[in-house]
Amino acid sequence: MSPRALQRLLLPVFLLFALVWTLAHLRPAHDPLAAADELASEASAPASPLLRIEADDPLPLSENPPFTELAVLLHRRFNRSHVRLDEGLLTFRDAAALQRFLARARAAGVEVLDRIDALHTARVRVTDYTAFARELTASTGDYTAVAANAILPPPTPPAEARSARVSLPVGENLLATLGIRAADPAWGRGVTIAVLDGGVFNDAAFDSRLRQLDIGYGLIGGGTDGAHATSVAALAAGAASDARGVAPAASLLSIRVTSADGAGDVFSVARGIYAAVDAGAQIINVSLGGYATSSVLADAVNYALSANVAVVAASGNDQAAQLVWPAAYPGVVSVGATDALGKQALFSNSGASLQLTAPGCAITTVGAGGARVSFSGTSASAPVVSGSIAALLSSNRGLNALQAADLLAAYSTDSGPAGPDPDYGRGTVNLERALRQSAPAQKP
């Protein structure tokens, strides 16, 4: 073969080699997924039982998997559509174990973003999955749980027409739908409702009763974050004559738990719950939720319940047969939505753990910039219940918030089949009846 013919034969091979080499070296120098991608190709053995664990269960570190398989699993868990990408929630056995981890975090391939010391929990961003897997394999005894940071967004605004049945709007008749004949402007006095949301705008409807607490996310989010939070707060405790909330004398504590995308997550809501309890709130309203969670949020809810603080949460607007978290937790006052006639709203989620329903269809309330808006969803129903609990607490100082919530459910209207049911829970709020039953006995 002539040299020219050999050159023509080898040239395509050389060009192909050059192209492959170039593409291989275009990967970013610090790509956190690189090692896990390589490990995935190396893991030729049959899949470990670890890889068949439900997606949002904590990683079972006690099974001590090979770090190669663990790196692949971490990569998959921390890079799904419903979680904060590359973020993990690491819970440790005790404070000493957390401190040991913090000292070696950089070598462990993670960046520590935040932590909740009371839970011995750190929120981290993984920068090197190989190093992180080695850390977990080598220090298994320090950990009690490793989970992704699931996103908890505000419930999706309900669709306007999902069946032939039309829901009757509540409009400006919120109190009437709760059975109230004569409202008391003192309802809620001495009670603090924490609103964990996108940050409440200061509005004349709140006069001097609004306090804002920054736990690391700023005071008010961009876009519609503040508008959503303001509508929620006003339904609980607004005092405007044309957009009155249920407990117009209650104090409000606004805690922003949303990021730039307008959604909260398991860690931010858990941190917000801790902050609200420590700041003296008796009621915590969470008009956020998602279909994944972790032990970090469960522990925060239990912290609130152990302090007799009521956690009230929206059930979700997906017409689903399950509740979103944190509404799905036992002990949380989970709230579905009804219209002005007390009929279940078409969008409202159902489930065996549903506690109550309350008005949530086109209620007139406060929006951004002092506007009056029509607000729908279980995001609206939850603060109606929060305000009702505050009204009961201010009317009977002998109650704590958990007792008031139970009283509200006990004297609700049994709207569905007899007894608790998945669509209405224990019933639809009838605040007038609950107030009559909770009134302190008069001395002779």
Which pTM value belongs to this model? 0.85
Whether residue 120 lies in the annotated active site = no
Q: Is 376 a catalytic residue?
A: no
- Indicate the class that CATH gives domain 34-149: alpha beta
Domain map (residue ranges) of the chain: 34-149, 174-438
Query: What type of residue sits at position 306?
Result: S
Q: What CATH architecture is 174-438?
A: 3-Layer(aba) Sandwich (3.40)
Name every residue whose Cβ is closer than 8 Å to that of residue 421 and which is 6 or more positions away in sequence: none
Burial of 81 (0-12, 13-18, 19+ CB in 10 A): exposed
Distance between CA atoms of residues 230 and 313, nearest Å = 16
Question: Cα–Cα distance between 181 and 204 in angstroms, integer?
Answer: 25
Residue 77's nearest CA partner among 122, 34, 129, 112 is: 129
Does residue 228 have an active-site annotation? yes
Cα–Cα dist 88/65, whole Å: 18
Q: Which of 167, 231, 268, 379 is catalytic?
A: 379
pLDDT tens for each residue of the chain, 444 residues long:
555 554 554 444 444 444 333 333 333 333 333 333 333 333 333 322 222 223 355 565 555 667 788 898 899 999 999 999 999 999 999 999 999 999 999 999 999 999 999 999 999 999 999 999 999 989 989 999 999 999 999 988 776 544 445 788 999 999 999 999 889 999 999 999 999 999 999 999 999 999 999 999 999 877 678 899 999 999 999 999 888 999 999 999 999 999 988 999 999 999 999 999 999 999 999 999 999 999 999 999 999 999 999 999 999 999 999 999 999 999 999 999 999 999 999 999 999 999 999 999 999 999 988 899 999 999 999 999 999 999 999 999 999 999 999 999 999 999 888 889 999 999 999 999 999 987 765 444
Tokens for 78? 């921390």
Catalytic residue among 56, 225, 228, 315: 228
- The strand pair at 83-92 and 143-152 is best described as antiparallel
**Ordered DSSP codes for 29-76:** TT-TTHHHHHHHHH--SPPPGGGGS-TTSPP-GGG---HHHHHHHHHH
What letter represents residue 7's amino acid? Q
Catalytic residue (choose from 86, 197, 203, 225): 197
